[in-house]
Amino acid sequence: MRLLLCGDVVGRAGRDAVVAELPRLRRSLALDLIVVNGENAAHGFGITDKICEQLYAAGCDVITTGNHVWDRREIIPYIDGDPRLLRPVNFPPGTPGRGHGIFAAHDGRKVLVVNAMARLFMDAIDDPFAAVAKLLDEHRLGSVDAILIDFHGEATSEKASMAYFCDGRASAVLGTHSHVPAADYRILPQGTAFMSDVGMCGDYDSVIGMQAAGAVARFVKKMPVERLQVADGPATICAVVVETDDATGLARRIAPVRIGGRLTPAWPREMEATVDALSS
């Protein structure tokens, strides 16, 4: 089975790029399930119901989020009615929405997708390790065909710790939130794929997706400045594809995907289903 996670979608530039490329990505890499982190999709802060529908129409199967999930208040009454839109599973009991779900791949196989949020340098929140452990005890590989965990956090140490904590019990633990694609993608000793951060889908002529002038001013002046504005130049899609073993559900291969914009392209030629050139 082949699973794709697109990193944090930032603003219109990121949305437009993802919507344009998802159909080709599914076709070219023979993807069985596509997950997109959409927590920065609405002008860089939060997500709306209309953006969810736009991503689904393009071929996204599941949307994950993180600390910005509630930035657009209109998502609060919507999220309970959309089982494909996840918020971190370790939010306190009673929080609207859900933090995991079992989703059908295109051939009917079952994939558990978990959205968890780290705590180091992040908001105060319940223990992500306990929340993930509970789910892995309830849904073991074998009862589901694959398990993908989007671990949204700041510290690479906490993300790596979660990956080793889940090694042999999940297909992949993939980090989001920092907006910078990491070079540490690998398969851990017991078969779980890991990458500490997938990166963002947005304009990299920016400060993590925001126009540079406003971001620099915050550091230089150390005073309140106007709200950060999303960079709207050509976007790079940063994603990662994981191929799992049909018998065990563990990872066989992991590879980064980078398309368009300013970053050096990355494309898993060995995983192509058809010959497609990189986007210009």
Domain 2-203+231-271: homologous superfamily in CATH: Metallo-dependent phosphatases (3.60.21.10)
Residues 6+ apart with CB under 8 A from 5: 35, 36, 37, 64, 148, 150, 172, 174, 176, 198, 239, 240, 242
User: Can you give the pLDDT at residue 275?
Assistant: 43
* pLDDT value at 274 more than 80: no
User: Can you give the pLDDT at residue 58?
Assistant: 98
- Separation in Å, CA 45 to CA 39, 71, 75, 228, 275: 7, 6, 12, 10, 36
User: Can you give the pLDDT at residue 166?
Assistant: 98
Name the average pLDDT for the chain. 95
Residue 154 structure tokens: 């700041």
The residue ranking higher by pLDDT, 208 or 274, is 208
* pLDDT value at 280 more than 70: no
Mean pLDDT on 148-172: 98
User: 52-56, 129-133, 173-177, 227-231: which range is least confident on average?
Assistant: 227-231
* pLDDT value at 125 more than 80: yes
**% the chain with pLDDT above 70:** 98
Cα separation, 152 vs 141, in Å, equals: 22
| 139: annotated active-site residue | no
User: Can you give the pLDDT at residue 222?
Assistant: 84
User: Can you give the pLDDT at residue 277?
Assistant: 41
User: Can you give the pLDDT at residue 227?
Assistant: 84
DSSP calls for 244-270: E-TTT--EEEEEEEEESTTSPPB--GG
Give the other-Cβ count within 10 Å of 130's Cβ: 9
Mean pLDDT on 172-181: 98
Half-sphere exposure of 253 (CA within 13 A, CB side): 14
Contact 140, 166 (CB under 8 A): no
* pLDDT value at 92 more than 80: yes
Cα separation, 15 vs 37, in Å, equals: 11
Domain ranges within the chain, ordered by starting residue: 2-203+231-271
Residue 70 structure tokens: 């509630």
> Which residue intervals of 93-149 are DSSP H helices?
128-138
Mean pLDDT on 94-119: 97
Mean pLDDT on 102-107: 95
Which position among 68, 139, 152, 179 bears the catalytic label? 68
At 234-247, the pLDDT tens digits run: 999 999 999 999 99
Task: State the pLDDT confidence band at 93, using cuts at 50, 70 and 90.
Answer: very high
Q: At what angle do helices 11-28 and 49-58 cross, to 10 degrees?
A: 30
Q: What is the dihedral of CA 259, 11, 198, 212, to 10 degrees?
A: 90
Cα separation, 14 vs 159, in Å, equals: 24
Mean pLDDT on 63-86: 97
User: Can you give the pLDDT at residue 273?
Assistant: 76
* pLDDT value at 278 more than 60: no
Q: What is the dihedral of CA 50, 123, 115, 154, to 10 degrees?
A: 100
Residue 245 structure tokens: 């073993």
User: Can you give the pLDDT at residue 276?
Assistant: 45
Mean pLDDT on 163-181: 98
